Chain A
Amino acid sequence: QQPVQSPQAVILREGEDAVINCSSSKALYSVHWYRQKHGEAPVFLMILLKGGEQKGHEKISASFNEKKQQSSLYLTASQLSYSGTYFCGTGQDNYGQNFVFGPGTRLSVLP
């Protein structure tokens, strides 16, 4: 079952922060985050596994709350290059079975 993402779209000014949420009605083992720019392939950002992980990559970090079956992606001091559509993907077991992407959150960073 497809996870839910919120918000659907967000517009920021350069330097502002954003949070994108991903939640599922099913128990999750893993959450992936990818960013896709228009006309391009999605690019991997990070994976979080069961166990309440938090990860960071420069100014982009994420948390995974397995009890709440949700993950959040944090973008701080956003840059123009952060613009794109962010997808979360969720997996339900250690084998990566039933992996499905959310509908995406369209992020626009304006100068």
Chain B
Amino acid sequence: GAVVSQHPSRVICKSGTSVKIECRSLDFQATTMFWYRQFPKKSLMLMATSNEGSKATYEQGVEKDKFLINHASLTLSTLTVTSAHPEDSSFYICSARTGGNEKLFFGSGTQLSVL
């Protein structure tokens, strides 16, 4: 089955540093990738939608200058949390799909802890 690889699975960083999270579709071309943030026992909150070769579409309330998303190829999207602060600590998860109403394949998630 289709696999989405997300790295790193866990990262601890100091306040003020930037962290990059990678999301790769290993055996299919993902026309669209999504980035979510999830708090404990809460739902998946969509942060942004990215299509290969175009700028990401951010959800209302998500700072695009803080959460930089790059979707350089049909198999790779990256999320960079710039100048991270403790309130950015969360579980970040990506997903990918091949078409409009196709099922989503999820990465394994990244637990970010900002000290």
Contacts and interface: CB of A to CB of B under 8 A. Distances in A.
Interface of A: 2, 29-30, 32, 34, 39-44, 47, 49, 85, 87, 89, 91, 93-97, 99-104, 106
Interface string B95-115: 101011111111111000000
A100 B95 CA distance: 13
Contacts of B103: 32, 44, 47
B43 A104 contact: yes
Contacts of A106: 41
Residues of B contacting A: mostly: loop
**7 shortest A-B CB distances, which residue pairs?**
A41-B106, A96-B100, A95-B100, A44-B103, A103-B43, A101-B44, A30-B101
Nearest to A41: B106
Contacts of B43: 2, 87, 101-104
Contacts, number: 57
B41 A42 contact: no
Interface of B: 32, 41-44, 46, 93, 95, 97, 99-109
Contact of A41 (B32, B42, B107): B107
26 contacts: A29-B101, A30-B101, A34-B106, A40-B108, A41-B106, A41-B108, A42-B44, A42-B93, A42-B106, A44-B103, A44-B105, A47-B102, A49-B101, A87-B44, A89-B104, A93-B100, A94-B100, A95-B100, A96-B102, A97-B100, A100-B46, A101-B43, A101-B44, A103-B42, A104-B42, A104-B43
A62 to B, nearest CB: 13
